[in-house]
Amino acid sequence: MRPATSPPRTAMRPDGSRLIKFNFGEDLPSVSHGRGVFVYDTDGRRYLDGCSGAVTANLGHADPEILRAMSEQAERITFAHRGSFHSEQSERLADRLSEMTGYPYVFLCNSGSEAVETALRLTLQYWRERGEPERARFVSHAVSYHGATLGGLSLSGHPQRRWAAEALLHGFNELTPPYAYRYAQGRDDASFTALLTERAAQVLDSHGPTAAGVVVEPVGGAAGGAITPPDGYLPALAGLCRERGLPLIADEIMTGMGRTGTMLAAQHWDVHPDMVVLGKGMGAGYAPVSAVLVSEHFIDTIAAGTASVTNGHTYGGNPLGSAVALAVLEAIESRDLVAKASVRGKQLRAGLEDLARRHEIIGEVRGLGLLQGLELVGDRATRSPGEPVGSLTRAVVLAARDQGLLVYPATGGVNDAVLVAPPLTTTPEEIDLLLELLDAALTTLSGKRAPTA
Ligand code: PMP
């Protein structure tokens, strides 16, 4: 029998396509081109990209500065292997990333998942060099997403994405998620934080000398939808790690690069993790680029040890991807996009709160900056998700698409939610349009407007 958590079955190749697609790609429009916050399909329909693709296209589409940097680099050289050459572009990228984040070392990869694996592997190497090779037990949250590779899935609290690979996965996802709407059960922020911290200490201590480190999304993204911890939690978790000498690794693949209104989301709480993983917004949809930012003491231990860093990925740090990421960083700085994410985020948040007053399907609005989430419920009083779970998410994504708006499905297997996360370059007028389209979509779903509170 198929497990209860298995994804719904859909017919393979309903359109005769030979391409294996995510969710079998049912009934998707074909993309034609993009301009700014808009994407157009091959039938000429326009969509406001209200989720930056997968919270990736942070500068919008066809940005002239990035296209120029890309074509200038492409004309010089696109690929030279890092085993044969240093590349000026990847050196400059590492320097700029270091200046803008405060981390002294940078390892470049291509996808978020690769960078998460790299962070795990560097941690394992660190412990080997410290003479504690048995430290291999990572700990993460029960509602989370950290990547599609086996290490990333082992960390992920996402039943639907885990199930096919379960036989090869570790159950690292043990921590109670900082997800007040479903886990606080009436506690205020302070007592919920105390509960989360006490449980995290128990989990870490249960692993004793095998505990290797903690991996956390500062704001949970793809699983659950912009799950924002109570203010005291991340500093408390960092404190637990410090007391035990365990590294704290922040997975900022979705939250980094200014998305939440600070360069790194951990900065909202003055937390400085030992490593930070970046992806998505680093290449901003123009090139697949990701990175691990690493603290001094990690690299010192590894550099003083018996081996160099021995693993990498073929395309990691390639000149084209590095030139694109460098241009993206320059754009973030010269256009003041981190501050803009904060300001536009407030406008978006106020608009979403207004929609929540009028549409019963919205159980909660949460998030930081331009990473906002809507918890979707069948019944506000009981907080019930869709029946089956995921059905409300799908309904909202499709209704929005019909109105010409893209929002991101973020059901974590236990809830229904969508992410609203437009490019950091979105104008105030475009935020208003996004809200109008979402209002129209929610209105078609309910068939009526909920009363104004
Ligand atoms: N971690 C987080 C927090 C993510 O949001 C994602 C992508 N949704 C990943 C890891 C995996 O990144 P990628 O899809 O680029 O491998």
The number of angstroms, rounded, from the C-alpha of 261 to the middle of its chain's C-alpha atoms is 15
Ligand 1 atom having least distance to the Cα of 221: 5
What pLDDT, on a 0 to 100 scale, did the predictor assign at position 364? 98
CATH 3.40.640.10 fits 65-334, yes or no: yes
Tell me what pLDDT residue 82 has: 87
Which one, of 362, 35, 75, 401, lies nearest residue 226 by Cα?
362
pLDDT of residue 449: 40
Please give the distance, rounded to the nearest whole angstrom, from the Cα atom of residue 303 to the centre of ligand 1: 28
CA distance to 22, 89, 152, 252, 416, per residue, from 248 (Å): 31, 29, 16, 12, 29
Q: Which atom of ligand 1 is nearest to the CA of 290?
A: 15
- The minimum-distance atom of ligand 1 relative to the CA of 220 is 3
Which ipTM score applies to this complex? 0.99
Q: What is the DSSP string of 219-248?
A: SB-TTTSSB---TTHHHHHHHHHHHHTPPE
Mean pLDDT of 373-393: 96
Least confident among 83-92, 196-205, 261-270? 83-92
Mean pLDDT calculated for residue range 340-369: 98
DSSP label at 177? P
Strands (E), 279-352: 290-294
pLDDT digits (tens, 9 = 90+) for 189-234: 999 999 999 999 999 999 999 999 999 999 999 999 999 999 999 9
Instruction: Give DSSP secondary structure letters for 132-176.
Output: -TT--EEE-BSS----SSHHHHHH---HHHHGGGGGG------BP
Mutating to test ligand 1, I would choose from 217, 253, 254 the residue with most ligand atoms within 8 A of its C-beta, which is 253
Where do the domains of the chain lie? 22-63+336-446, 65-334
* Residue 1 pLDDT > 70: no
End-to-end C-alpha distance for the chain, whole angstroms = 46
pLDDT of residue 15: 67
pLDDT confidence bin for 421, thresholds 50/70/90: very high
Range of lowest pLDDT (90-99, 148-157, 204-213, 309-318): 309-318
- Fold of domain 22-63+336-446: Aspartate Aminotransferase, domain 1 (3.90.1150)
CA–centroid distance, residue 157 to ligand 1 (Å):
13
The pLDDT, as a whole number, for residue 17 is 79
Question: What crossing angle do the helices spanning 112-129 and 296-303 adopt, rounded to 10°?
Answer: 60
Q: Is the pLDDT of residue 281 over 80?
A: yes
Is any atom of ligand 1 closer than 6 Å to the C-beta of 371? no
Q: Are 299 and 305 in contact (CB under 8 A)?
A: no
> What is the mean predicted confidence (pLDDT) over 61-79?
98
Residue with CA at minimum distance from ligand 1 atom 12: 112
Per-residue model confidence (pLDDT) at position 305: 86
The finding on whether 217 has its CB within 6 A of some atom of ligand 1 is yes
pLDDT given for residue 413 in this prediction: 83
Residues in a beta bridge with 41: 31
Quote the pLDDT of residue 389.
93
* CA-152 nearest atom, ligand 1: 10
pLDDT(372) > 60: yes
Shortest CA distance to 152 belongs to which of 110, 120, 106, 109? 120
| pLDDT tens-digit readout, 101-133 | 999 999 999 999 999 999 999 999 999 999 999
Q: What is the pTM of this model?
A: 0.95
**Res. 9: pLDDT tops 90:** no
Mutate to test the pocket of ligand 1, among 52, 111, 145, 290 (most ligand atoms within 8 A of CB): 145
At residue 21, the pLDDT reads 77
Per-residue pLDDT band at 450 (split at 50, 70, 90): very low
Question: Of 55, 146, 150, 276, which is best to mutate to test ligand 1, by the most ligand atoms within 8 angstroms of its C-beta?
Answer: 146
Return the minimum-mean-pLDDT range out of 274-288, 307-321, 350-364.
307-321
279 lines ligand 1 (CB under 6 A): yes
Residue 252: the pLDDT is 98
Residue 27: what pLDDT? Answer: 79
Is the distance from the beta carbon of residue 221 to the nearest atom of ligand 1 less than 6 Å?
yes
Instruction: Give the CA angle between residues 118, 272, 423 to the nearest 5°.
Output: 75
Distance CA 367, CA 348 (A): 11
- How confident is the model at residue 446, as a pLDDT? 83
Residue 395: pLDDT over 80 = yes
> Does ligand 1 lie within 6 Å of residue 146's CB atom?
yes
Q: Answer yes or no: are the C-beta atoms of 78 and 319 closer than 8 Å.
A: yes
Which conformational region is residue 98 in: left (phi greater than 0), alpha (psi within -120 to 50 degrees), or beta? alpha
